[in-house]
Structure 1
Amino acid sequence: MTSTTNDPAIQPTWPHVVTACRAVGLNAAGAKPVRIADNAIWTLPGAIIVRITCPCRRAAAHREIITARWLADQAIPAPRPWLPMAVDLPENRAATFWHQLPDHTVGRCKDVATLLRQLHRLPAPGHLPFLVNPAREARARLEADQRSVIIPITDMTWLTSYADDLADAWDSLEDGVAHTPVHGDAWAGNVARTADGQAYLLDLDSVAVGPPEWDLTSTAVKVSTTGTLSLVEYEQFVSAYGGYDVRTYDGFEVMRRVRELLMTTFAIQTAADHPHTTDEARHRIACLRGLNGQRPWTWTAVPHPPGIPSPVV
């Protein structure tokens, strides 16, 4: 493969794929992009996946390899490393290499619940950090996008203040159930389901120790925020998890708003390289600002180009 695509999201990652492959004795010829988002995922000949982190995520990549080995020891289905270490790259990036999963589709909500139930029951291993306040992650994304001409400065100013308020509210949350290992971004798009019904937990770089309610909120917002999940499906999710409905948690409203903010900042980031998603980013901001009525709102999927549209993120 050569870097001939006009997709601006793909071009910056290709040199890192070449560098990482050379470092481990692989030929990058024939590599194909699978998903370009916070991490750039490429498939290589020989059923190998290479993941290139975004800048400043090198430590998370090294920790992800350790997490994958730990999950294997705990018999939780997840991708297995092809290489037992991450490869350091410029810009504080890293590359990790994985065995490619069998052909699969996006997981179901019941799959998410089943995997989370297994994960949340495990004792926390020593290598996992504590979950960083996710509202501060959203704030950092906004800081990176401050010079964007896509979003009006008035909206960016409001979003920054909103993120600060949510960060303070998160720090004041009272505990619900005991803290456990958490995935950090547990939704159907981060679960793969193969033809035989086996589900795999993907994207392990955000696994940490924190409130399990945070993982459960990612599915609950599909009912209360985006309206993309029916109550029947959500009840099946709750049942598969073990009966705990996160909406009964006193801190759910704060967690829901933080998740909505992260989904919005992701749309803003995507619009920077893919202007056709600008309207969706602006629509989500208007929803957060109370300009589009009450929840649930209609949010359109922001896909991970290239590839087919993904579930709503």
Structure 2
Amino acid sequence: MSTVGAQSRGVLRAACRQVGLPDEGAQPIRIAGNAIWRLPGGIVARIGRPDGREIAERELAVARWLTDSGVRTVRPAIADGPVLVDGRPVTFWDELAPHRPGTAADVARLLKQMHQLTPPASLTLPPLEPLTKPTRRIAEAGLLTTDDRRWLQDHVGQLAADFAGLPAGLPAGLPLCALHGDAWDGNVAVDADGTAYLLDLENTCYGPPEWDLVSTAVKHLTTATVTAAAYEDFCSTYGMDVTSWPGYPVLAGIRELRMVTFALQIADEHPHARAEAQHRVDCLRGRKGPRPWTWTAVP
């Protein structure tokens, strides 16, 4: 087990002791930005990053709201707030039945349901700030050369200026709403009965619904991991092709940057991801030719 995995295992053990859950036989599902573990008894533990208590509390509240509103999503196994271990929040969730990743149409269907909801007064969602994480990741990335870091910081500055001018360009009929914040097929699970569930609610926020649509469009046009037919299903299910919206290039640029900087963050924790992280930087800088680019998933 990697050092990062061993550290999260220790946090898991301490959190389970606080709530009286067994941790013997716990199995890692994914060790990345968050560490996710499968516990005995059909429970999944999610370990957030340090100082992420507010995010974890909001994630639990959003899950309860969506469930009460009829949107299928993961359900908290423990109703109380997150358990804190050395500043890291740990939340516990009911494990889903065996499932597969969602299709593009599954993603669109769940997003359409969520976007039509009005959050309760008791749930305060932060405004969409899509460049906060990339800015931090660029500053902290150990992989970057001085030149690459400077270029990426300048790129962030240009995207921030472009994003600030978007509200006036929002098309009529798509009012601001509650957003999933990180909507892609990996964050939708479909069980054997065909029921789709929305996962990973930590990025839920308030802003233009186009942001939730851009991820699938980028996977189609930038990395070619969503086929033309699947993207057509996505657009017809939701009722809009975001690539025809005037603000698409800006939001797509931000989404691409987030995918690059996520790889940079993972590369600092998992050395085997360094080549992929540098490849993504090179693509963004125009060193690897035009889109679509071939990107390999990082943990």
Which SS does the other structure have where 1:43 is aligned? Answer: strand
2:3 aligns with: 8
1:274 deviates by 2.2
1:227 aligns with: 224
- Residues in 1 aligned to 2:140 and 2:144: alpha-carbon distance in whole angstroms: 13
1:197 equivalenced with 2:194 (yes/no): yes
Corresponding letter in the other structure for 1:252? Y
Question: Among 151, 156, 161, which residue is 1:163 paired with?
Answer: 156
1:276 equivalenced with 2:272 (yes/no): yes
Cα deviations across residues 73-130 of structure 1 (Å, max 9, x unaligned)?
1111111111012234245321111111001111111110110010011113331323
2:146 aligns with: 153
1:132 deviates by 3.4
Contact 2:63–2:73 (8 Å) recurs in 1: yes
Question: Among 51, 67, 76, which residue is 1:72 paired with?
Answer: 67
Which SS does the other structure have where 1:250 is aligned? Answer: coil
Contact 1:134–1:167 (8 Å) recurs in 2: no
Cα deviations across residues 192-241 of structure 1 (Å, max 9, x unaligned)?
11111111000111111111100000000011110111211100011111
1:45 deviates by 0.4
Count of residues in Structure 1 that have an aligned counterpart in Structure 2: 294
- Residues in 2 aligned to 1:207 and 1:125: alpha-carbon distance in whole angstroms: 14
Q: TM-score, normalised by structure 1?
A: 0.90
Contact 1:128–1:207 (8 Å) recurs in 2: no
1:164 deviates by 2.1
Corresponding letter in the other structure for 1:101? L
1:59 deviates by 0.4
Contact 1:135–1:258 (8 Å) recurs in 2: yes
Listed as ranges, the gaps of 5+ residues in structure 1 are 305-313
Contact 1:79–1:101 (8 Å) recurs in 2: yes
Question: Among 29, 34, 38, which residue is 2:33 paired with?
Answer: 38
Cα deviations across residues 158-186 of structure 1 (Å, max 9, x unaligned)?
11221122122212213332111100000
- Residues in 1 aligned to 2:266 and 2:288: alpha-carbon distance in whole angstroms: 22
Contact 1:131–1:208 (8 Å) recurs in 2: yes
- Residues in 1 aligned to 2:5 and 2:256: alpha-carbon distance in whole angstroms: 26
Q: Percent identity?
A: 45
1:293 deviates by 1.8
Contact 2:178–2:204 (8 Å) recurs in 1: yes
Which piece of structure 1 moves more, 89-98 or 265-274? 89-98
Corresponding letter in the other structure for 2:201? L
Moved over 4 A (4+): none
Question: Among 211, 215, 219, which residue is 2:212 paired with?
Answer: 215
Contact 1:124–1:209 (8 Å) recurs in 2: no
Corresponding letter in the other structure for 1:226? T
Corresponding letter in the other structure for 2:198? L
1:138 deviates by 0.7
* Alignment root-mean-square deviation, CA: 1.3
1:249 deviates by 1.3
